[in-house]
Amino acid sequence: MIEEGRQLVNQDRVLKVIPNENEAIWRAEVLDDEKYIVILDGTGKEEDICRCITWQQKSYCPHTVAVELFLRDHDVVRAMAYSKKPLFHYVVTPKSWTKNSTFGGYFYV
């Protein structure tokens, strides 16, 4: 499962990661055989959600793993209260656009 999640990250399949501090969740989009909406718990309880079949059977899946690995790769802790870096929004942008543009990239909040 971890290797599948790592492949999704390495293949730039994590399309969006957006924090919602009011609800203490990370909302993400991961592209696999289809686009999956992933909700990562930001409280540390690890009560994550994905609508894929694997998650329905096991309560974890490569998509939730990919989002957590993505956060770790960017030195962001999923438990929002313990994050030493500012929370950020991540949205994939076409390669011709630059990071921190108004169209996408990394946005620190």
**Domain boundary assignment for the chain:** 2-108
**What is the rounded distance in angstroms from the CA atom of residue 31 to the CA atom of residue 12?**
9
What's the predicted TM-score (pTM) here?
A: 0.77
Residue 98's pLDDT is what? 38
Cβ count near 14 (within 10 Å): 24
Is 5 in contact with 66 (CB distance < 8 Å)? yes
Of residues 12, 21, 10, 3, the one with CA closest to residue 65: 3
pLDDT, tens digit (0-9, with 9 covering 90-100), for 91-102: 554 343 334 433
**What is the rounded distance in angstroms from the CA atom of residue 10 to the CA atom of residue 28?**
16
Residue 11 reports pLDDT greater than 80: yes
- The letter for the amino acid at 9 is V
